[in-house]
Every structure is written in C-alpha cells, then in structure tokens.
C-alpha cells in the first residue's frame, strides 16, 4: 500500500494522526472536511483521480500546505481560496475542465504551476506577480496569447506551451534570463508540420509482435518487438498513448524525431507507425549495456535532475559526455529542431561513456521562426546544456592537477552557457571549440 494513502473511513474514524503527506483516491465528489483537522502538520495533499469540483472557503486553514495535487478531477475554474494559501508552492490541476483562471486564485508563493490539459483561453495579468515561479505547464489548453506582465517572471526555468492556439511568441519569452526548457509545438505559430511525416518510411503496427515493456514516458510506452517471420531481429516500438500528452501532441513528437536526422548520439529511428489508428516509432534496440545517466527532478529540486546516491562520474567522463551532448545539440539546431528537455534522465550511457540521447516529447520545430527567434531558442537550450553539465559535476570528483584543470574548463563553459543575458551565451558550435581546447 502507498505509505501516504489513506481511506475516507480512516479519516472519519480519527485514525490518521498528524501527517505531513496525505493521498486519497475515493471517487470523492465533496472535499472531506476532516482533512482540515490536519492543519498543523499537513504539507502535501494529493486528491487526484477523484470527482471534486470545488474546495471549501476555509481550505486556507491548511496553513502549512506547500504542495497540492488535484489532477484528473472535475474543476471548471481554479478555486479562489488558493490565493489565500500563503505557503502553497506547487499547484497541480492537470486534466480537469478548467476554463477560467482568476487573479485571486494565484498565491504569490507559487513556484510550480501545472494546468496541463484543460480548456483555458486566457491567463490574468497577475501571472506577472508570480516572481517565484520556476516551472509552468500549460500544454493542451486554448491560449491565444500570454500576458505581457509575465516578462516579470524572471525565475522561470521551464515552460510548456505546446498544443495551444498561440499565433505569436512574445519577445519577452525569449529574453527570460533563467529559461532553459521551452516547448511550444502544436501552435499556429509553428506552421505546418514538416515533410518528414510524408517521406519517412511507414509501417503498420500489425507488422510487429510486441513483447516485454521496456519503458514508459509521458507520451508513450516502449516495447520490445520483432516481425513474426524474423524472431531474431528485435527492435523497440514506441506507442503513443493518446491525443495529447503533458508535452503536447504525439504527431509533433513524431515529426521532430523524424526531422532530427541521424547522429551517432541519437537513438536511431527506423520507421514511423502512422496508419490512422496507431501512432508510433520503430527504433533500433538499445543494447542492455546502456543505463540512464540520471533521474528526473524531484518535488524539491523542481527543475533539476536527481541522481542515485551511489552515482559517480570521473572528470574525463563528464568532459566526454559534455562533448557528445554539445555535438548532438549542434546537429539538432542545424536541423531547426529544439529538444526542449535536455536532461541527464533523457540520456543513456554505456561502460565506455558513449551517450545516446532521445525522447522528443517536448521538442519544437523552428522552421517557421525568424532568425532572431531561432537564435534565442538555441540560447535557451544552451542554458539547459549548462545546467546539464553542472548537474554532472555535482556527482563527480576531481583530485589530480589535470582533473582540476578539466573541472575549471567545464566551469568556464557552464558560466558562459548560463549567462543571464541571452545574447551573451555561446552557440553550440562555439561550445564544441571551448570543450576541445588543449
């Protein structure tokens, strides 16, 4: 059983003591008032996967509450009472039916706001007052524009805008000093999808026998597969889950993946599955010798990767990985594709520190942007690359003089990549030169 999950009956029978975390999945249609009795201890409340449509007016009694999850419920607007919750830092209302977000619903303490997969057409000007906001997920709504006041959200590091109705991308968006991960595919501003969807080899899902599940991400599941007539030639098949994901439309992920071309550090794409009823990718099977470079961000780290306690990379490994990542990102931007999710947890390495990079769920096509915007998108990805290398250095050790010199070079690259003035950051071709200097 989930250690923080309780039943309504336990709550009503006073069997839930002072707890910091509470999760309840009970097909609830009304907020259990008994939860308010936990006001002196409760910090994390997860009532996702219920049928709630409102919160009580005295919900702000939960004065210590920092994290609130109410995804997959029936809310049609963001509750006003949230604006009075002074400690609330993370708010998750993914996959409701929210059409309205009013100013009074947004607490100034918000660091992480998830409104993915709703029906929001407009955001209030108060968004610009959320000066602590670091992570903003708005994919799968009906937004036609963003409030200009959001130029004041200078702590923003990650924004998901895919699958909306945006006709333009405002200039201030590209100038946010700390923005490192931006996704905006599936908007009118992106124009038509590329010819890759028409030209790349197509197969039918029925041509393959699916075996064990190899992995699962936000957009789909990956299976071991082979053709019935050839039980030795195994591949990996990624099947997209549905019409929309937390990062946008599967068609855009497929388009960017196919348009990315081939590179020694990209997972090789063999064919697309695009037959109307099924959408997916057939990929070369990654040998079992590869493992994830890192783990996804936690609720605490918010936008930054985490690592297992025993993770360790040498100075030479970090440098070798950084060179490979800079190379593949140079390649992608030459193909007018931004990845949008440059992270260690989206990277694989083997015993020789050979890097494989994939997962185009947050990727965006840059063909229809002007030169200024394309350069700005590269600068945003350059900052993400800086964070990527910085995170690896946190799980590395440098002892010899040569290793310390290598660390100093990597830190110089990080400083250049994370410059707050977007225009001052190097391009990926420049980074390759900086990394390979003697």
- Are 217 and 126 found together in one domain? no
- The mean pLDDT of the chain is 94
Residues 225 and 342 in one domain: no
Tell me, yes or no, whether 181 lies in a domain: no
Residue 256 lies in a domain: yes
Reading the block at residue 127, the tokens are 């968004």
Here the tokens at position 395 are 């799980």
| End residue of a domain, out of 250, 284, 318 | 284
314 and 276 in a single domain? The answer is: no
DSSP-assigned letters across all residues of 57-107: TTGGG-TT--EEE--SS--SB--GGGGG-TT--EEE-TTS---B--GGG--
pLDDT value for 195: 82
- If asked whether residues 276 and 405 sit together in one domain, one would say no
Residue 173 falls inside a structural domain: no
Residue 8, CA distances (Å) to 13, 24, 112 in order = 9, 7, 28
214 and 266 fall within a common domain? yes
Predicted TM-score (pTM) of this structure = 0.95
* Residue 126 falls inside a structural domain: yes
Q: Are 4 and 128 in the same domain? A: yes
**Residue range(s) defining the domain that contains residue 302:** 291-435
Q: Which of these, 314, 301, 309, 293, lies nearest to 388 by C-alpha position?
A: 293
* 389-395 mean pLDDT: 97
Q: What angle do CA 392, 393, 395 make, to 5 degrees?
A: 70
Q: Does the annotation list 145 as a binding residue?
A: no
Tell me how many domains the chain contains: 3
**Domain-embedded: residue 137:** yes
- Let me know if residue 263 belongs to a domain: yes
Q: What are the contacts of 157-161 at 24+ separation with CB within 8 A?
A: 157/181, 157/302, 157/303, 158/134, 158/182, 158/303, 159/183, 160/116, 160/136, 160/246, 160/247, 160/248, 160/362, 161/187
**Is the same domain home to 274 and 256?**
yes
Q: Tell me, what CATH number does 321's domain have?
A: 1.10.510.10
Rounded to whole angstroms, the Cα distance separating 57 from 89 reads 19
Please report which confidence band the pLDDT of residue 132 belongs to, taking 50, 70 and 90 as the band edges: very high
Residue 253 lies in a domain: yes
Q: Is the pLDDT of residue 223 over 60?
A: yes
Q: Per the domain annotation, does 178 fall within a domain?
A: no
Query: Of the given ranges (90-94, 272-276, 427-431), which has the lowest mean pLDDT?
Result: 272-276
| Residue 1 in this model has a pLDDT that exceeds 50 | no
Which segments within 138-255 are labelled E, that is strand? Answer: 158-160, 181-183, 202-203, 209-216, 220-227, 230-240
Query: In this structure, are 213 and 356 located in the same domain?
Result: no
- Domain end marker among 108, 125, 156: 156
Helix axis angle for 371-393 and 401-417, nearest 10°, is 150
pLDDT band at 217, cuts 50/70/90? confident
| Residues 216, 134 share a domain | no
pLDDT recorded at residue 245: 76
d(CA 154, CA 134): 8
Does the pLDDT of residue 207 top 80, yes or no?
yes
Report the CATH number at residue 25.
3.80.10.10
pLDDT of residue 275: 79
In this structure, what CATH number is given to the domain that contains residue 271?
A: 3.30.200.20
Q: Are residues 216 and 271 in the same domain?
A: yes
| Per-residue pLDDT band at 438 (split at 50, 70, 90) | low
Better pLDDT: 243 or 119: 119
Which tokens in the block code for residue 174? Answer: 């590209």
Q: Measure the CA–CA gap between 191 and 171, rounded to whole angstroms.
A: 18
Name, of 10-19, 43-52, 269-278, 309-318, the range with top average pLDDT: 43-52
Same domain assignment for residues 118 and 148: yes
State the pLDDT at residue 241: 84
If asked whether residues 269 and 296 sit together in one domain, one would say: no
Which of 127, 156, 185 terminates a domain? The answer is: 156
Enumerate residues 6+ apart whose C-beta is below 8 A from 276.
Answer: none
Q: Which pLDDT band, with edges at 50, 70 and 90, does 437 fall under?
A: confident
The pLDDT score that the predictor gives to residue 2 is: 66
Span 167-201, pLDDT tens digits: 999 999 999 999 999 999 999 999 888 888 888 99
Q: How many CB atoms lie within 10 A of CB 325?
A: 24
Strand partners, 202: 272
DSSP 248: B
């Amino acid at each position: 059983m989930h250690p923080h999950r309780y039943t309504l009956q336990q709550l009503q029978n006073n069997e839930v003591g002072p707890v910091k975390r509470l999760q309840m999945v009970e097909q609830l249609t009304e907020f259990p008032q008994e939860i308010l009795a936990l006001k002196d201890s409760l910090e994390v409340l997860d009532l996702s996967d219920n049928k709630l449509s409102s919160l009580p007016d005295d919900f702000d009694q939960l004065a210590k509450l920092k994290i609130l999850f109410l995804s997959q419920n029936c809310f049609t607007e963001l509750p006003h009472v949230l604006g009075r919750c002074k400690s609330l830092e993370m708010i998750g209302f993914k996959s409701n039916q929210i059409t309205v977000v009013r100013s009074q619903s947004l607490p100034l303490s918000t660091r992480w706001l998830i409104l993915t997969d709703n029906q929001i057409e407009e955001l209030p000007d108060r968004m610009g007052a959320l000066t602590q906001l670091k992570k903003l997920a708005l994919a799968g709504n009906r937004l036609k524009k963003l409030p200009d006041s959001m130029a004041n959200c200078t702590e923003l590091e990650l924004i998901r805008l895919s699958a909306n109705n945006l006709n333009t991308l405002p200039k201030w968006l590209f100038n946010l000093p700390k923005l490192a991960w931006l996704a905006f595919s599936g908007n009118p501003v992106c124009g038509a999808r590329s010819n890759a969807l028409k030209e790349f080899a197509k197969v039918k899902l029925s041509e393959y026998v699916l075996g064990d599940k190899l992995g699962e991400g936000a957009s789909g599941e990956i299976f071991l597969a082979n053709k019935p007539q050839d039980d030795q030639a195994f591949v990996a098949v990624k099947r997209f889950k549905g019409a929309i994901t937390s990062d946008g439309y599967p068609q855009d992920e497929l388009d960017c993946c196919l348009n990315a071309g081939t590179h020694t550090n990209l997972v090789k794409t063999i064919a697309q599955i695009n037959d109307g009823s099924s959408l997916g990718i057939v990929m070369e099977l990654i040998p079992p010798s590869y493992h994830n470079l890192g783990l996804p961000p936690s609720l605490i780290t918010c936008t930054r990767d985490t690592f297992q306690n025993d993770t360790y990379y040498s100075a030479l490994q970090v440098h070798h990985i950084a060179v490979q990542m800079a190379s593949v990102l140079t390649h992608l931007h030459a193909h007018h594709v931004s990845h949008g999710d440059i992270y260690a947890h989206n990277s694989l390495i083997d015993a020789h520190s050979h890097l494989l990079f994939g997962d185009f769920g947050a990727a965006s096509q840059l063909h229809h942007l002007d030169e200024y915007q394309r350069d700005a998108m590269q600068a945003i990805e350059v900052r993400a690359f800086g964070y990527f290398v910085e995170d690896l250095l946190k799980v590395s050790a440098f002892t010899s003089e040569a290793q310390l010199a290598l660390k100093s070079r990597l830190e110089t690259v990080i400083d250049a990549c994370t410059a707050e003035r977007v225009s001052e950051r190097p391009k990926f071709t420049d980074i390759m030169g900086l990394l390979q200097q003697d």
